[in-house]
Amino acid sequence: MSDLLGGEARVTTRRAQTRDKLMTAAVTVFADRGIIGAPVEEICEAAGFTRGAFYSNFPDKDALVLELIRHEVEIQYTAAERAVEVMKVAASAGRSAEEMVDVALRAFDAGGRSGREWILTQQELRLYAAREPGVRAQYLSFDRECAKQFSTLIADAVSHAGREFTVPFEDAISLLRATHNEVQMEALFGHGEVDSHRLRVLLLAITRPATQSGH
């Protein structure tokens, strides 16, 4: 995916490693303390760097938040691309719709991020974007563009599965996103593992074998 949040096109290997360590530390600190309650000094300490290293990579905490959001979506998009490819292989092998959905969701879960710490951080990132005017506009712009790209992937997957939506496409996407978010929230209060059963049920419930006119 293109860097829609305006990140640098190129960074040195060493600087990239520093940024990665700071971002990894931020995930841990944000999950534990929340973004507003997490000082830059604590992120630096967790990463093993000084404040100078932080500010040579991010002008402020808002920039770090936006970079984490961009990175999160890149990982999810790559996982979604892999899921679609796996579904296409399953379709060419004549697998049933249920089997295709199962293998695609397993591929998506395997390629994405899960676990309590990361799910907490994902929720924190969205809440922070909603609260902070300086972040909100960039987040909303990025979210709209990402939604378009994910929608294209989902449409492609459903088509290759030989199915079509039984509800308007925009509503289907909203239902899938809402269910994915609900599944993540349930994981926070359960064992920390994301269970894709509800997504599977939903996908099969809002799609049907494609009619000839649907091709």
Are residue 33 and residue 103 in the same domain, yes or no? no
pLDDT of residue 179: 93
Task: Report the percent of the chain where pLDDT is more than 90.
Answer: 53
Are residue 103 and residue 54 in the same domain, yes or no? no
Are residue 112 and residue 170 in the same domain, yes or no? yes
Residue 2's pLDDT band, with cuts at 50, 70 and 90, is: very low
Are residue 120 and residue 182 in the same domain, yes or no? yes
Residue 33 is assigned to a structural domain of this protein: yes
Which residues does residue 207 pair with via DSSP β-bridges, in sequence order? Answer: 165
Provide the number of structural domains found in the chain. Answer: 2
Residue 81 is assigned to a structural domain of this protein: yes
Q: What is the dihedral of CA 30, 35, 36, 40, to 10 degrees?
A: 70
Residue 202 is assigned to a structural domain of this protein: yes
What are the backbone angles phi and psi of residue 207, rounded to the nearest 5°? -130, 165
Q: Answer with the residue of higher pLDDT: 161 or 195.
A: 161
CATH number for the domain that contains residue 16: 1.10.10.60
Residue 21's pLDDT band, with cuts at 50, 70 and 90, is: very high
Tens of pLDDT, residues 34-45: 999 999 999 999
Rg of the chain in Å (alpha carbons)? 19
Cβ proximity of 61 and 35 under 8 Å? yes
pLDDT higher than 90, residue 65:
yes
Are residue 178 and residue 196 in the same domain, yes or no? yes
Domain that holds residue 30: 9-58
Are residue 49 and residue 105 in the same domain, yes or no? no
pTM: 0.81
DSSP state of 163: E
What is the rounded distance in angstroms from the CA atom of residue 188 to the CA atom of residue 170? 28
pLDDT higher than 50, residue 51:
yes
Q: What's the whole-number average pLDDT of the chain? A: 87
Are residue 69 and residue 154 in the same domain, yes or no? yes
Cβ proximity of 92 and 160 under 8 Å? no
Residue 2 is assigned to a structural domain of this protein: no
pLDDT of residue 8: 47
Average pLDDT over residues 58-65: 95
Are residue 126 and residue 159 in the same domain, yes or no? yes
Place of tokens 């992937």: 153
Are residue 88 and residue 191 in the same domain, yes or no? yes
